[in-house]
Amino acid sequence: MAIEQTFSILKPDAVGKNKIGAIIQRLEESGLKVVAARMIHLSQKEAEGFYAVHRERGFFADLVKFMISGPVMAMALEGENAVQVYRDVMGATNPKNAAPGTIRADFADSIDENAAHGSDSLENAKIELAYFFRTTELCPRTR
């Protein structure tokens, strides 16, 4: 399997609960490596642009409002099969359906405030990483 990079956001609910460290611990324990990280308080335009694929959905306005309600931690994660590994560690979109032990099962309260974002494909990971990080800000792990 190939070494991939994927994109993660620890959303305002998780940051607000002071769970950044607890969630990153889960990521590291699953073999994922943080290769870039930045706290950012998204503007409305940035959040709308990031979630543009969902703009026709009924939940779009609430999603954007939530995503700009506080700072987030944006990260690039690297590892074997990282896109799928991180989706699995994160759990289902609705925490009520998320498997026990996943980030969303343990740290999220609802489908609206579900603790984490993760790219759903390698192609989207590249687009999302480029939205938040310059190539030179990604630090592939040499040890």
Q: Residues 117, 125, 132, 133: which is the catalytic one? A: 117
55: alpha, beta or left? (left if phi > 0; alpha if psi -120 to 50): alpha
Nearest-5° Cα angle at 78, 75 to 82? 105
Binding stretches for ligand IDP (CB under 6 A) = 54, 59, 63, 93, 111-112, 114, 117, 120
Q: How far apart are CA 75 and CA 1, in angstroms?
A: 22
Contact letters for Mg ion, residues 82-121 (x by CB under 5 A)? --------------------------------------x-
Entry field: residues in the chain: 143
Q: How far apart are CA 79 and CA 66, in angstroms?
A: 29
Minimum separation from the CB atom of position 143 to ligand IDP (A): 32
Active site residue 117: yes
User: Which is nearer to Mg ion, 52 or 139 (by Cβ)?
Assistant: 52
Minimum separation from the CB atom of position 97 to Mg ion (A): 15
User: Which is nearer to ligand IDP, 16 or 140 (by Cβ)?
Assistant: 16
The per-residue DSSP string of 25-40 comes to HHHHHTT-EEEEEEEE
User: Which is nearer to ligand IDP, 54 or 55 (by Cβ)?
Assistant: 54
Tell me which residues are annotated as active site: 117
